[in-house]
Amino acid sequence: MISIPSPTLVSSAKQLQAMLRVLLVQPAVAVDTESNSMHAYRERVCLIQFSIPGCDYIVDPLAIQDLTVLQPLFADDGIEKVFHAAEYDMICLWRDFGCKVRGLFDTMMAARALGWERVGLAAILRETFSVSVSKKFQRADWGKRPLSADQLTYAQLDTRYLLRLREHQYQELHKRGQWPEVREEFERISRVSSRNRAGITMNERNTEGFWRINGVRKLSKRECAVLRELYIYRELVAERIDQPISRVIGDGVLLRIAQRSPRVVGTLRGVHGLSGGQIKKYGSGILQAVQRGLRARPLVPPQVIRGGRSVSARYQALREWRKLRAQRRGITSDVILAREVMWALAQAAPTSMAELDSIPDLGPWRRTEYGEEILNLFAETDSK
């Protein structure tokens, strides 16, 4: 690992308050989080890293009872929070601690807007600052304690260079006249990431999540009922043993079991992807779930409501327009318009600039820059 000064560990409420006194007077703070999503049924934030010039902090949420004291820092528009690939981190911070992030700068989104070929943080640090970052701990269980010195250094590097990177990107964005566009996207990401609180128990969970499994709509009505019971069984097992659902039984395997609807253990051995160890652990529960599904009412897949053919046609036209726009600029398509914004446009079918004002998350810069093109595109599409 690269040799840098050790970070300041924050593992008590007193240390957290001391850190906040420093961070709350900064113009910008680099932030990242580490979670245990690959090692637990219900993930949680296990580390929060902060960096300012001359100092890196690593906060241990597993050692501090109350982290809601961070809310004012994240909510302060006057302190820029610099993340790399911010959306997932922001969702986690909102879910676990009720922290809404305002004043965002996302270095990955900025890299996309600038047309950089590689937008992963390790590649950017290597190419911009000649800093090599090991990928050794990408799949580490950050919920385990104690953390090694190498783990702490790995976490530290995720924020240590972000403020320098932000300054470099900010200058480039201003030079190219792209700052208003990118800032607007930062604001949209901030709003979207704090709209829902996740992290619910199985009793509160929407048990219809099995409809999102790839291939479910190819099943018969009876097989859909079986898949639903298998899905619920898997969730309960994963919650009980505190493991990600992917480590219990994969989606594809659940689908194949539903198609076979086996009655005896021997039939399970022919299911591709289901190991002998899984059959030994879960075979009885799988067969019971299959029986519940066979006795249940057959299920009809819910309609995907997107507004019919006209909405689909407008959305596809927008996708093609966005793709061409992005190609001309040498950037990725999502910099032009986010997919969710395109669906909102396609469903609303605005016919005037005034109607564009009501489109969720379509900011003023994009309305001015792209509004007339979108209206003309819709007029042409709807006339066909």
Q: State pTM to two decimals.
A: 0.89
Cα separations (Å) of 104 from 86, 168, 186, 208?
8, 16, 6, 34
CB atoms within 10 A of CB 319: 15
Largest CA distance in the chain: 68
d(CA 201, CA 212): 19
Do 209-295 and 308-382 have matching folds?
Answer: yes
Q: Where do we find the tokens 């009980």?
A: 240
Asked if 106 and 86 touch (Cβ cutoff 8 Å), the reply is: yes
| Kind and range of the H or E run holding 241 | helix 221-241
Asked if 166 and 105 touch (Cβ cutoff 8 Å), the reply is: yes
d(CA 261, CA 272): 14
As a CATH number, domain 8-193 is 3.30.420.10
Cα separations (Å) of 363 from 315, 337, 358?
18, 10, 10
Q: What token pair was written down for 284?
A: 């009885």
Task: Break the chain into its structural domains and give their ranges.
Answer: 8-193, 209-295, 308-382
Residue 61's SS3 state is coil
Beta-ladder partners of 31:
50
Asked if 163 and 128 touch (Cβ cutoff 8 Å), the reply is: no
- Please identify, in words, the CATH class of the domain defined by 209-295: mainly alpha
- 92 backbone dihedrals φ, ψ, rounded to 5°: -65, -40
pLDDT by 10-residue block (mean), the chain, 384 residues: 84 98 98 96 96 97 96 98 97 96 98 96 94 88 95 96 98 97 96 68 66 95 97 96 94 97 94 96 98 96 76 96 96 95 96 94 96 97 90
Confidence (pLDDT) at 196: 63
Asked if 81 and 105 touch (Cβ cutoff 8 Å), the reply is: yes
- Asked if the 308-382 domain carries CATH number 3.40.50.620, the reply is no
Confidence (pLDDT) at 146: 96
CB atoms within 10 A of CB 225: 22
Q: Among residues 49, 334, 322, 41, which one has the least CA distance to residue 182?
A: 334
Confidence (pLDDT) at 2: 59
Confidence (pLDDT) at 201: 45
- Intra-chain end-to-end CA distance of the chain, in Å: 60
Q: Where do we find the tokens 């309305």?
A: 367
Regarding beta strands 28-35 and 80-83, do their DSSP bridges make them parallel or antiparallel, or are they unpaired?
A: parallel
